């Protein structure tokens, strides 16, 4: 999956333009407070974290204290050298906040605001801009930062202006949260926090806009995974239930049928166990829980062992299975059990997706340039269509035309990729042509041997 750069920002931020408000004590003070408010609001997205909300409220309070000096509270006056966020809601929150307190020197405040990934805009009661950080200029356009204009508010959906009016009218620590899409060509999904920044002379509101494209994409992938997992778990379960029901209701008259139903139950149970095991293995690797038990592994010897284990299945299918090329010194520092899992998976796939009477061969090479051992499993089977290539190592992906040819989980290759790439710093790939066959290969760096010895 390609990562989407969040809030790309042009460095050519027009610092020389006089009308763009970039500094000054009150603005800086508000800006710094909004960093805190923004961080708090953004972090509390989705999960309600009361202390973060309190930080936001206190940060806004600190800003108004600095901005409207004469009305500052005693604590605000005492802390006018910097901004300190503190909760007033409870003793427990106070303790958390004390440990989270942030001091910002004035010279760093504008830079800090410009470094923030969220767009931060300060507007008055009429929606006219008082301040906009670099991300606001990148997200809403350069004109959004022109002080005294409504460019920023007009580049946002109309409900934002209504929210500004609402929070300013309500006063206090009033704030609103809006989920919507920007009117840019890509309709970027955003979450917007609007907060009142009350003062004695002027009513202002902060608008913090967060681009949530990455979060939305992550949610979509998670939903897709859950839907697929649900489907893949239910299919063998329904088959198990139907077969067991037939046997239990004594609807099966002859022994041959009874054996057939028992065989279905065994096959589906094995498939279910494999599916759950693979899901758990992948989850352990992806969550960083899995640890490689490193040792010197001779990939030539390991390949011979795996080929021997698959020989009876190859014989049953009249497939010629062999090691067609091997080398000495194909030793890497790796987790033997995990690499065996990878090899067995690639071999059993090669056998599964090759018609009876075909050929499967393992080759072991040393890539001197990349300093790695490369193991390839070649077959002259079905091959993989070009359109399937990018998704082949994804979760639950199966080539649709292969489904009737052999049963599977669609997780094996994903687990292989996790083991090779995430746990051994290697690479995995495939070259294939439909109707001609495939070469699935993986490369494990040899340098790890040296590293381990050191
Ligand atoms: P499965 O349990 O379905 O085999 P994998 O993740 O191991 O799951 O493989 C994903 C898909 O990749 C398979 O369903 C099949 O369509 C395709 N595939 C894997 N190995 C081969 C191969 N050697 N030849 C052709 N297609 C293959």
Q: Which residues of 130-154 are buried (b: 16+ CB within 10 A; e: fewer)?
A: bbbbbbbbbbbebebbbbeeebbbe
**Apex 147 CA angle, 38 and 52, nearest 5:** 10
Tokens of 189: 């999904």
Q: Which residue has the tokens 């050929």?
A: 359
pTM comes to: 0.62
Smallest CA separation from ligand 1 atom 18, residue: 349
Q: Which of 202, 203, 199, 180 is nearest to 190 (CA)?
A: 180
Report CA(325)–ligand 1 centroid distance (Å): 24
Residue 171 has what pLDDT? Answer: 87
Report the pLDDT value the prediction gives residue 409, as an integer from 0 to 100.
Answer: 86
Is there a contact between 195 and 362 (Cβ–Cβ < 8 Å)? Answer: no
Identify the burial level of 227 via C-beta atoms within 10 angstroms of its C-beta, where 0-12 means exposed, 13-18 middle and 19 or more buried. Answer: exposed
Q: Can you say how many angstroms the Cα of residue 157 is from the centroid of all Cα atoms in its chain?
A: 28
**Distance (Å) from CA 234 to ligand 1 centroid:** 20
Q: Which atom of ligand 1 is nearest to the CA of 274?
A: 2
Residue bearing tokens 């042009």: 10
Taking the CA atoms of 396, 400, 404 and 405 in sequence, report the sign of the dihedral they define.
negative
Ligand 1 atom index nearest CA of 409: 2
> What pLDDT is stored for residue 357 in this prediction?
97
Say if ligand 1 is within 6 A of residue 384 CB: yes
8 Å CB contact between 393 and 413: yes
Pick among 3.30.565.10, 3.30.360.10, 3.40.50.720, 3.40.720.10: CATH of 292-454: 3.30.565.10
Q: Name which CATH class applies to 25-211.
A: alpha beta
| DSSP for residue 20 | B
pLDDT (tens place) for every residue of the chain, 454 residues total: 322 222 322 333 333 232 333 333 333 334 444 444 443 333 333 333 332 333 334 333 333 333 333 333 333 333 333 333 333 345 555 655 554 545 556 667 778 888 999 999 999 999 999 999 999 999 999 999 999 999 999 999 999 999 999 999 998 889 999 999 998 778 899 999 999 987 667 889 999 999 999 999 889 888 888 888 888 888 889 989 998 988 888 877 788 888 888 999 999 999 899 899 999 999 999 999 999 999 999 999 999 999 999 999 999 999 999 999 999 999 999 999 999 999 999 999 999 999 999 999 999 999 999 999 999 999 999 999 999 999 999 999 999 999 888 888 899 999 999 999 999 999 999 999 999 999 999 999 997 544 443 3
Nearest CA to ligand 1 atom 8: 410
CB of 399 within 6 A of ligand 1: the answer is: yes
CATH for the 213-290 domain, from 3.40.47.10, 3.30.300.30, 1.10.287.130, 3.90.1150.10? 1.10.287.130
Task: Please tell me the predicted confidence (pLDDT) of residue 87.
Answer: 36
Domain ranges in the chain? 25-211, 213-290, 292-454
């Amino acid at each position: 999956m390609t990562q989407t750069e969040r809030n790309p920002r042009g460095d050519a931020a027009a610092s020389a333009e006089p009308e763009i408000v970039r500094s000054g004590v009150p603005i800086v003070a508000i800006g710094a407070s909004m960093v805190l408010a923004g961080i708090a609001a953004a972090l509390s997205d989705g999960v309600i974290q009361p202390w973060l909300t309190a930080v936001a409220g206190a940060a806004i309070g600190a800003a108004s204290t600095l901005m409207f000096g004469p009305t500052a509270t005693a604590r605000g006056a005492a802390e006018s050298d910097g901004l300190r966020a503190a909760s007033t809601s409870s003793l427990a929150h106070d303790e958390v906040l004390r440990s989270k307190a942030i001091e910002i020197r004035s010279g760093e405040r504008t830079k800090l605001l410009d470094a923030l990934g969220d767009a931060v805009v300060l507007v008055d009661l009429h929606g006219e801009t008082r301040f906009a950080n670099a991300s606001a200029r990148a997200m809403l356009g350069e004109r959004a930062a022109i002080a005294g204009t409504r460019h920023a508010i007009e580049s946002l959906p109309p409900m934002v202006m209504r929210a500004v009016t609402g929070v300013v009218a309500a006063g206090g620590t009033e704030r609103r949260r809006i989920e919507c899409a920007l009117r840019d060509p890509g309709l970027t999904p955003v979450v917007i926090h609007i907060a009142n920044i009350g003062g004695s002379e002027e009513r202002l509101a902060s608008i913090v806009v967060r681009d949530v494209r990455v979060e939305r994409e992550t949610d979509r992938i998670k939903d897709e995974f859950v839907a697929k997992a649900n489907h893949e778990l239910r299919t063998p379960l329904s088959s198990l239930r139907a077969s067991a029901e037939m046997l239990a209701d004594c609807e099966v008259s002859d022994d041959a049928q009874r054996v057939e139903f028992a065989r279905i139950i065994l096959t589906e149970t094995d498939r279910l166990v494999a599916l759950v095991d693979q899901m758990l293995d992948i989850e352990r690797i992806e969550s960083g829980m899995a640890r490689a038990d490193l040792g010197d592994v001779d990939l030539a010897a390991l390949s011979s062992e795996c080929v021997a284990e698959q020989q009876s299945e190859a014989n049953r299918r009249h497939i010629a299975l062999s090691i067609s090329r091997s080398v000495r010194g194909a030793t890497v520092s790796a987790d033997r059990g995990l690499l065996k899992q990878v090899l067995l998976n690639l071999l059993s796939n090669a056998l599964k997706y090759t018609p009876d009477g075909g050929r499967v061969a393992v080759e072991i090479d040393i890539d001197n340039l990349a300093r790695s051992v490369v193991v390839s499993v070649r077959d002259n089977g079905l091959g993989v269509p070009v359109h399937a290539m990018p998704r082949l190592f994804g979760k639950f992906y199966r080539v649709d035309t292969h489904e009737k040819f052999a049963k599977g989980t669609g997780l094996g290759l994903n687990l292989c990729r996790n083991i090779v790439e995430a746990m051994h710093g290697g690479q995995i790939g495939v070259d294939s042509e439909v109707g001609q066959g495939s070469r699935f290969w993986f490369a494990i760096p040899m340098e790890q041997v040296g590293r381990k010895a050191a």
